[in-house]
């Protein structure tokens, strides 16, 4: 088997033993599953040849991107790991069409840098963008901080290329905004976590880079006024709010303890802290007026000033420099590091209706207090799209399933979802079996059986 793999990708790109070990760890370096071997193809043709070999020999395959997944979807004991790291070319940037043709191994931050030089952005931003790859982001339908304005990953993909279980290549790399020609296999493969095919390339949508950003931290006593702030800002800016992130006072205290050299956003602590960012696309919004101030900043000051007078907002700081903007974002993007300060974390990545976020947090905290009175939490949320990262630190790790089910009950009562952007992987298989509609699960299994009849593509993930 090893010899055949070497014939396809070259001996230097078939890793075993100690060389393969780094590819068997999860993102937190807590769980290890030893691969049979790791192969690093350089082309779609090589991926196709690898899958033909795996199909013929019934070899289980685990596709792997930047190893930043948080649900255990990139590990497989004894599996053939196909790493996309060498398929890292940005094939084309089409400025007129505002799109880019990329391979699956392109690191997100590298794409950001390349398109920014053309005055454009690929509006998928999250903390792991320095290592996460396009293929992995598509496979998990990652969300990030800019879903509020630009949508999820599915909304940012025009075309896709993938290799199926038997090695067949599906080429759907059209640069089209409309294509009504049958089943949308593109959307089927996005979010499938490598269980239906291996994404090898994509045509992604680009957006004009805002002429200016206005970023602020806002302190409030409760979440309801925060939603009022969001809605008012959307109205006065014409929907230009790009990010609206929630952090409680406990999270900021943990961040300050972790990085005592950083300055606090406010002199006094506030129960609710919002990081918001507005992107001005029109020159009329970012061209300074006679007073030297950008209109987009004036809109924000006007809304904040009114809410301060009404007592709905307690404090606000608007970034006065790019350095201060980055400092504000650094607080929010350190969420994984903050959660890692304590052992035995239970990561819950859930979604609830935007106007039920406060209800969820109140009910979840009450439920947790009943189940484990001494448990602690670390919470951040994409408040603008209803996605909550509710991390629990139990006093007894053996009670994990009980705690998870209790919080899931709260999510279900509010009409939410037990998975928002991290995916299912292995982490949420039990939840998937317990919470997903049985008819939907049956349909998913039928699709899996049809496209991967030998069950070799990332088994034990996504489908319980």
- Which backbone phi and psi does 214 adopt, to 5 degrees? -120, 120
Same domain, yes or no, for 103 and 42? no
pLDDT in tens, 268-307: 999 999 999 999 999 999 999 888 889 999 999 999 999 9
Give 236-240's long-range contacts (Cβ < 8 A, gap of 24+).
236/299, 236/302, 236/303, 237/278, 237/280, 237/285, 237/296, 237/299, 239/149, 240/149, 240/278, 240/279, 240/280, 240/281, 240/285, 240/296
Domain boundary among 51, 83, 115: 83
Same domain, yes or no, for 120 and 203? yes
Better-scored residue on pLDDT, 291 or 59: 59
Same domain, yes or no, for 6 and 60? yes
Same domain, yes or no, for 181 and 120? yes
Same domain, yes or no, for 222 and 319? yes
Is residue 448, in this structure, part of any structural domain at all?
Answer: no
177 vs 361: CA distance, rounded Å? 38
* pLDDT classification of 341: cutoffs 50, 70, 90: confident
| Number of domains the chain is built from | 4
pLDDT in tens, 148-184: 999 999 999 999 999 999 999 999 999 989 999 999 9
Same domain, yes or no, for 221 and 329? yes
Is residue 458, in this structure, part of any structural domain at all?
Answer: no
Question: pTM of the entire structure?
Answer: 0.93
pLDDT in tens, 96-151: 999 999 999 999 999 999 999 999 999 999 888 999 999 999 999 998 899 999 99
pLDDT of residue 63: 97
Instruction: For residue 183, give the CATH number of its domain.
Output: 3.30.465.10
Of the candidates 172, 207, 165, which has an alpha carbon nearest to the alpha carbon of residue 187? Answer: 172
Same domain, yes or no, for 198 and 240? no
Is residue 252, in this structure, part of any structural domain at all?
Answer: yes
User: What is the pLDDT averaged over residues 15-44?
Assistant: 92
Provide the total of helices (H) and of strands (E) in the chain, helices listed first: 16, 18
456 vs 88: CA distance, rounded Å? 25
What count of other Cβ atoms lies within 10 Å of the Cβ of residue 113?
11
What count of other Cβ atoms lies within 10 Å of the Cβ of residue 30?
12
Instruction: For residue 18, give the CATH number of its domain.
Output: 3.30.43.10
pLDDT in tens, 222-281: 999 999 999 999 999 999 999 999 999 999 999 999 999 998 899 999 999 999 999 999
**3-state DSSP percent of the chain in helix, strand and coil, to 5:** 40, 20, 40
Host domain of residue 15: 2-83
User: What is the pLDDT averaged over residues 301-323?
Assistant: 94
């Amino acid at each position: 088997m090893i010899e055949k793999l070497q014939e396809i990708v070259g001996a230097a790109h078939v890793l075993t033993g100690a060389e393969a070990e780094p590819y068997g760890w999860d993102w937190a370096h807590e769980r290890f599953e030893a691969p049979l071997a790791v192969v690093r193809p350089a082309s779609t043709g090589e991926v196709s040849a690898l899958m033909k070999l795996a199909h013929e020999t019934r070899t289980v395959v685990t596709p792997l991107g930047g190893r930043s997944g948080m649900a255990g979807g990139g590990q497989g004991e004894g599996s053939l790991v196909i790493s996309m790291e060498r398929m890292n070319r940005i094939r084309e940037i089409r400025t007129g069409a505002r799109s880019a043709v990329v391979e699956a191994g392109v690191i997100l931050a590298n794409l950001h840098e390349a398109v920014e030089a053309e005055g454009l952005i690929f509006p998928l931003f999250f903390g792991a963008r320095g290592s996460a790859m396009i293929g992995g982001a598509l496979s998990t339908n990652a969300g990030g901080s800019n879903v509020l304005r630009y949508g999820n990953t599915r909304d940012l993909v025009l075309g896709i290329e993938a290799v199926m279980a038997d090695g067949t290549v599906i080429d759907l790399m059209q640069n089209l905004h409309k294509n009504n020609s049958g089943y949308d296999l593109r959307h089927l493969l996005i979010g499938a976590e490598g269980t239906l095919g291996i994404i090898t390339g994509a045509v992604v949508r680009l957006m004009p880079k805002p002429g200016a950003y206005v970023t602020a931290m806002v302190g409030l006593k409760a979440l309801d006024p925060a939603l009022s702030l969001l809605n008012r800002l959307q109205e006065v800016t014409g929907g230009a709010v790009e990010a609206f992130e929630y952090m409680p006072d406990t999270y900021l205290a943990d961040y300050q303890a972790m990085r005592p050299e950083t300055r606090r956003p406010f002199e006094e602590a506030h129960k609710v802290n919002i990081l918001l960012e507005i992107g001005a696309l029109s020159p009329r919004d970012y061209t300074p007026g006679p007073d030297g101030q950008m209109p987009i900043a004036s809109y924000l000051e006007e809304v904040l000033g009114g809410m301060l007078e009404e007592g709905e907002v307690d404090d606000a700081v608007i970034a006065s420099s790019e350095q201060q903007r980055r400092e504000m974002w650094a607080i929010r993007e350190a969420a994984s590091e903050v959660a890692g300060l304590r052992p035995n974390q239970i990561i819950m990545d859930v979604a609830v209706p935007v106007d039920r976020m406060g209800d969820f947090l109140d009910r979840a905290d009450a439920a947790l207090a009943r189940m484990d009175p001494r448990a602690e939490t670390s919470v951040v949320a994409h408040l603008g799209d209803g996605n909550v990262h509710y991390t629990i630190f139990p006093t007894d790790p053996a009670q994990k399933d009980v705690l998870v089910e209790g919080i899931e009950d709260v999510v279900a009562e509010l009409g939410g979802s037990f998975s928002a952007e991290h995916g299912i992987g292995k982490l949420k298989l039990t939840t998937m079996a317990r919470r997903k509609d049985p008819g939907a699960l049956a349909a998913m299994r039928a699709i899996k059986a049809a496209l991967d009849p030998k069950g070799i593509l990332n088994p034990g993930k996504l489908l319980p």
